Chains A and B, each alone.
Chain A
């Protein structure tokens, strides 16, 4: 078992070991002969430790480099740049998607010729574009013209209507709106694509003709509303003209 060296002797031994004074070594060894080997080990250790310093063969050229404090800044710039790129990519994707999405074309406005001398400004019928894939919605409300009022004269005024490949319901509503009526379609009415070509025909005549062709009857409710019923009364009474309901073109 190794004996414990007193602290003061320990300090003295280190001083001797680190010094290069042979007389000090000899003096220590004479005073503490039992520590002679320990002193020799420590002198060797100090000598080897000092000898391990080494030296560089050549001094490289100094070039200031980016300091460590700039590393986090670079990291922040990289992270920010990544976010910016991601945002740019998302924006680019959104813009591209928006540009590739087919924009629904506005309805083509075609003038409807009328022979009425009262209408100085020709009324306008909104016509669905011919190349539109989706059929016009059934409940589409036509534009109401303020100058038109649901009067008997409007219904009986001759009109020219030309439409192709359009919704029957939409066409009926357009014709009704042109005459100042709000057209309502009864449940169960079968809408379909139709082509209309009427020249100098009254609205009631058009409704009747269409009713014959597509199996419906138009009733004037008397309050500016026309109801389209999916039924045809062949040879029956034409309705009470004095009542609230009146079959158009009957």
Chain B
């Protein structure tokens, strides 16, 4: 009974997403706007966790929703829409992180010298930011999904495209690596 109560909001959410997807595919212009507004923060959190840089994360979010907008008909409805969306967000963010890795290394010195950070960008705790930045993008994605999105291991497994045991192992290793970097940053 308790589990049914707990699961209820998820089912409603699933159904609501599916309805919005169907409305969008049938030509309802506002349906995708509702999807976008509902999931913008979550996708932004994933992108920011992986990319760290707020501007790059905001840019990646637009890329993610553009991909979803164009390929929503490919959503097979066997999984939750949110899982499908997060998977796109993770993959796209990791892709962007790899693309920007070299650029970030070369630009970092210039930014450190004189360029100020954007005023509107919300600053992350420097210690957390430093520890995250030392992780691989895949590890950052796992940390983000678990601690920021608070997804279950099943949902994380679906989002990164692996089984639950693999997700669990990878998450524990990522968390341990993060802890080491976090303590290094604090010392």
Q: Are B128 and A65 in contact (CB under 8 A)?
A: no
User: Which B residues are CB-close (under 8 A) to A14?
Assistant: 172, 175
Q: Is A234 an interface residue (CB 8 A)?
A: no
Q: Which residues between 18 and 56 of chain A lie within 8 Å of chain B, taking CB atoms?
A: 41-42, 45-46, 48-56
Q: Are A45 and B182 in contact (CB under 8 A)?
A: yes
Closest to A51 in B: B125
Q: Is B158 an interface residue (CB 8 A)?
A: no
Q: Is A67 an interface residue (CB 8 A)?
A: yes
Q: Is B40 an interface residue (CB 8 A)?
A: yes
Q: Are B69 and A53 in contact (CB under 8 A)?
A: no
Q: Are A62 and B36 in contact (CB under 8 A)?
A: yes
**Secondary structure of the A contact surface, majority rule:** loop
Closest to B128 in A: A52
Q: Is B62 an interface residue (CB 8 A)?
A: yes
Q: Is A59 an interface residue (CB 8 A)?
A: yes
User: Which A residues are CB-close (under 8 A) to B116?
Assistant: none
Q: Is B124 an interface residue (CB 8 A)?
A: yes
Q: Is B21 an interface residue (CB 8 A)?
A: no
Number of A-B contacts (CB under 8 A): 66
Known A56-B44, A62-B62, A65-B62; judge A48-B127 contact (CB<8 A): yes
Q: Are B66 and A65 in contact (CB under 8 A)?
A: yes
Q: Are A68 and B62 in contact (CB under 8 A)?
A: no
Q: A48 to B127, alpha carbons, bound, how many Å?
A: 9
**Secondary structure of the B contact surface, majority rule:** helix
Q: Are B40 and A56 in contact (CB under 8 A)?
A: yes
Q: Are B63 and A65 in contact (CB under 8 A)?
A: yes
Q: Is A64 an interface residue (CB 8 A)?
A: yes
Q: Are A48 and B125 in contact (CB under 8 A)?
A: yes
Q: Interface residues of A, CB < 8 Å — how many? A: 24
Q: A57 to B54, alpha carbons, bound, how many Å?
A: 12
Q: A48 to B183, alpha carbons, bound, how many Å?
A: 13
Q: Is B179 an interface residue (CB 8 A)?
A: yes
Q: Is A60 an interface residue (CB 8 A)?
A: yes
Q: Is B84 an interface residue (CB 8 A)?
A: no
Partner of A67, one of B44, B70, B172: B70
**Shortest Cβ-Cβ A-B pairs, 4 listed:** A53-B148, A52-B128, A54-B122, A62-B36
Query: Interface on B for A, CB 8 Å cutoff?
Result: 32-33, 36-37, 40-41, 44-45, 48-49, 58, 62-63, 65-67, 69-70, 95, 120, 122, 124-125, 127-129, 143, 147-148, 172, 175, 178-179, 182-183
Query: Interface on A for B, CB 8 Å cutoff?
Result: 14, 41-42, 45-46, 48-57, 59-60, 62-68
15 A-B pairs whose Cβ atoms sit less than 8 Å apart in the complex: A14-B175, A45-B182, A46-B147, A48-B127, A48-B128, A51-B125, A52-B124, A54-B48, A55-B122, A59-B37, A62-B62, A64-B66, A64-B70, A67-B70, A68-B63
